[in-house]
Structure 1
């Protein structure tokens, strides 16, 4: 009963945080509000959640990574794959190596392996806070796509580095060859398992539905279970469950496009995932805030354990680590963007000179840390193989918590300043694609209306009446008045004509959606645009289907 009450209490806190985030100034993003509310709960409510890192990862991380992978624009992901991989892999490895050495130099009492573990913990970025800030600030779309893609992959690379650092701390040895082999297996096997499970589940469900029928509830439930299945299957074979969950979400875009799913099911599924995303994101940050009072209460004792007389030294350490993270990220982004521009100039595709300085600064400031960092710090073992306490474990947790808070504040304050009044280039290519897609869809709808019109004429033996329906679509309000004022015979004729009209419209809408899907599969329009148009057509399909029932 206590666990249920606690869960309901956390959900209530998430709802309250959403209300407060709208009342408080726009510069204060929702994650900071949720952390503050969680801290108040931890101080005054007497609620203490024993956060199990394995349970945290299993219940909260897979569905969020799955949804990020599913909804992320795939064309942009593949187009900016080099930049994303550079940030998710190259920058993470540079951060672990450079920051690990810096932390050991800064805090000699912390063993080298533990310093590398702390560096691995704070290396993954968290896009949730940046997304919350982006709702108030016009973040360039391409920049946001790169940040989203980076966060999908750097969680896995950072956690893999953490695993190696913990193993080195426990055993006292480290093998670069073994680490490289293990990393390759975890990454490749995780991606393969995630994609395979999505394909098997969606394809099998579609085959079953074609033969025995289907319902929206089971479809939605299957989509909820896929990320957990991918995560558990990958972890069972010692691969990366984090990458498996992200890969399964990316695969959903391609696998589910060919599955037979009704428009109403797609709308309901989207609504369920929206609610789940809001809830899980909120729970993560409320839990993070709830843990902070307990961590900070041991700050003085932790400072004494490393030979420092005051807890203020921990603030200095956090500031130094955040500064080192910012420098490493700024240098990497600066070099990466300049190399990208240089390569584009060589290919003759660049229209401008050097990248805007504010974009480079914004990319550096946007590297906020979040729940993955805290969960990674809590996965440090409590003791060594000989029974001795794990060295500097409390210090790692405290410093990681300080880095989370500081980077969130920097992102909340820095991004609006750097991106204010930034002139964003117009996306003429997207407008042309949208126009082309609508034209092709309209032609497909006209062709389908003509086909269904002839089909209805053969069924009813009245070609003139079915032909007149197209003209009556332009005069809907007049028909509504006539139908309400007319006699029973006239009302029956109006109902029959309305049924014919809905049937023609429904056929046209479904033909439009199929045409848009075909354009996306042929790579003539982007998958992002196809998804946007598909949502509009789903709403029309669901309304017409409901009226026909």
Structure 2
């Protein structure tokens, strides 16, 4: 273990350098990292890299899902719940089914069960790749929200398909009612574990004498506890982490102090950056091991590449068709039920949603978790070929879709749906309302007190638009508590605004909540 430590440290340094290069050349960093890992793997001095699937599923996946659950807007997720659910479950199932039929028809030795296994492996798109690409171009909020919401759930649905396909291959039969019960338990058990564990940790944060450091450590432990407990009772660890993360994220201001929130965000952003960088770099480094296994089975590399490109094409076409199908269903459903937006989105939005289907680390980890031998001692059929096809799919989608997505977005000019007020207008509105509510609270609760505090007078004048001086002024304990109370009043107004106004962008609300936390931290240090 200690012998490999310098190697992994060098990988982290390489990630930092490569991400800076990616930002400089305006290319999504997952693409650069995978290609760089692929190039580095052929260097003669490089040690053989064998990615342990447990490293991904147990060490990397829980914190990455948890961080994504904290970053996503619950309001946005609920608003687009139908299309998010359709992409995360229905489209994943249709994709796996399409791959199963094509693999059974065109790849020698692939049964339907084996094809369904491959479909479950390659069906979930990787949201990190799409998010890294979208940051270079401007897309409507709804597009990024749908992609973020889908990414939280599609890993769970694809891994459920993978498990059922493994059971069918091991037993040689598929009992539909048993599968339905297992599927229900995985969903309900995962959701239940996540909510219960999340509630317990929320109580621990709220009632134990914690500080910012302890709170941050507890947040680091939380996703692992959720995932491990859920997996131990044979439910979905992914859904447990997602549901628990969403519960804690939506209640973060009720059990975490401003200091804990500020420090936690910094720690989690850095952790997610390193973990994402490592997994994409390791994908590229894994190719020699995958190729060696294919050669040992006497399979043709060129033939395997052809099969991988065939599956890649099936994935792209199926997702694009599903995106347009989802729009068609929504246009029909609007006549019978209330939908998030009854307007016709045009051809651009479903095309972008369909083209953001880059595959990533979950697919490779699932493929690597296939056992070498089956329970009866026989070699697992087509294991090396499945691994190689999965790698080709990941590399192909990252290069083809990842490199062309920014140009496609700029070319087709996605319409602005005006889901939210313009950012400048929203910022001005928040500034006015925060100032108004702070002044009203100051006059109603602290009449006759704040006139004796230079700092409170200065802040009141600033809120009234009379001064813009941010100079610090000494403040007594009494007036510090008044100012903190005013900040808390503003924070509560922002939270209420976010909860009750679905047409206000939560990203702007979160920005101002963070600014209040920073101001509170500054006042406490005076």
TM-score of the two chains, using structure 2 as the length reference: 0.90
* Superposition deviation, residue 194 in structure 1: 0.8
Which shows bigger deviation, 499-508 or 276-285?
499-508
Counterpart of 2:137 in structure 1 is 137
The aligned runs of 1:93-112 (5 Å cut-off) are 93-112=93-112
Aligned counterparts of 1:446 and 1:320: Cα–Cα separation in 2: 65
Residues 161-212 of structure 1, C-alpha deviations (whole Å, 9 max, x = no match): 1111111111211111111110110011101111211111112220123xxx
Q: Report if aligned partners of 1:130, 1:411 keep a CA contact under 8 Å in 2.
A: no
Residues 515-542 of structure 1, C-alpha deviations (whole Å, 9 max, x = no match): 2223334557565443232112112222
Q: Report if aligned partners of 1:341, 1:350 keep a CA contact under 8 Å in 2.
A: no
Q: Which 5+ residue runs of structure 2 have no aligned equivalent? A: none
Distance 1:463 1:195, change over 3 A: same
Taking only aligned residues, the RMSD between alpha carbons, in angstroms, comes to 2.9
Aligned counterparts of 1:144 and 1:466: Cα–Cα separation in 2: 42
Counterpart of 1:509 in structure 2 is 487
* Superposition deviation, residue 339 in structure 1: 2.1
Distance 1:9 1:465, change over 3 A: closer
Aligned counterparts of 1:417 and 1:425: Cα–Cα separation in 2: 18
Which shows bigger deviation, 386-395 or 412-421?
412-421
Q: Report if aligned partners of 1:365, 1:414 keep a CA contact under 8 Å in 2.
A: no
* Superposition deviation, residue 348 in structure 1: 9.1
Counterpart of 1:236 in structure 2 is 232
Residues 140-160 of structure 1, C-alpha deviations (whole Å, 9 max, x = no match): 221111111111111111111
Distance 1:36 1:499, change over 3 A: same
Q: Report if aligned partners of 2:439, 2:460 keep a CA contact under 8 Å in 1.
A: no
Q: Report if aligned partners of 1:38, 1:288 keep a CA contact under 8 Å in 2.
A: yes
Counterpart of 1:193 in structure 2 is 193
* Superposition deviation, residue 475 in structure 1: 5.4
Q: Report if aligned partners of 1:449, 1:507 keep a CA contact under 8 Å in 2.
A: no
Higher helix content, 1 or 2:
1
Counterpart of 1:491 in structure 2 is none
Q: Report if aligned partners of 1:88, 1:150 keep a CA contact under 8 Å in 2.
A: yes
Which shows bigger deviation, 324-333 or 427-436?
427-436
Residues 335-392 of structure 1, C-alpha deviations (whole Å, 9 max, x = no match): 1112223434667989986433232221111011000000000111110222121111
Which shows bigger deviation, 8-17 or 420-429?
420-429
Aligned counterparts of 1:114 and 1:227: Cα–Cα separation in 2: 32
1:402 to 392, 395, 402: 392
Distance 1:463 1:10, change over 3 A: closer
Counterpart of 2:78 in structure 1 is 78
* Superposition deviation, residue 499 in structure 1: 8.3
1:536 to 501, 507, 515: 515
Residues 194-233 of structure 1, C-alpha deviations (whole Å, 9 max, x = no match): 1211111112220123xxxx31000111111110010011
* Superposition deviation, residue 3 in structure 1: 3.8
2:437 to 426, 436, 444: 444
Distance 1:453 1:56, change over 3 A: same
The aligned runs of 1:326-405 (5 Å cut-off) are 326-344=316-334, 354-405=344-395
* 3-state secondary structure, aligned to 2:242: helix
Aligned counterparts of 2:132 and 2:505: Cα–Cα separation in 1: 25
* 3-state secondary structure, aligned to 2:103: helix
* 3-state secondary structure, aligned to 1:47: coil
Aligned counterparts of 1:453 and 1:98: Cα–Cα separation in 2: 67
Aligned counterparts of 1:176 and 1:469: Cα–Cα separation in 2: 70
Aligned counterparts of 2:473 and 2:265: Cα–Cα separation in 1: 33
2:257 is the alignment partner of 1:262: yes
1:282 to 264, 277, 282: 277
* 3-state secondary structure, aligned to 1:191: helix
Aligned counterparts of 1:74 and 1:290: Cα–Cα separation in 2: 36
1:220 to 216, 222, 240: 216
Distance 1:436 1:203, change over 3 A: farther
Aligned counterparts of 1:18 and 1:464: Cα–Cα separation in 2: 49
* Superposition deviation, residue 242 in structure 1: 1.1
Distance 1:362 1:429, change over 3 A: closer
Aligned counterparts of 2:342 and 2:499: Cα–Cα separation in 1: 32
* Superposition deviation, residue 246 in structure 1: 1.3
Counterpart of 1:31 in structure 2 is 30
The aligned runs of 1:45-194 (5 Å cut-off) are 45-194=45-194
* Superposition deviation, residue 139 in structure 1: 2.5
Aligned counterparts of 1:104 and 1:436: Cα–Cα separation in 2: 58
Aligned counterparts of 2:163 and 2:307: Cα–Cα separation in 1: 23
Query: Of the two, which has the highest radius of gyration?
Result: 1
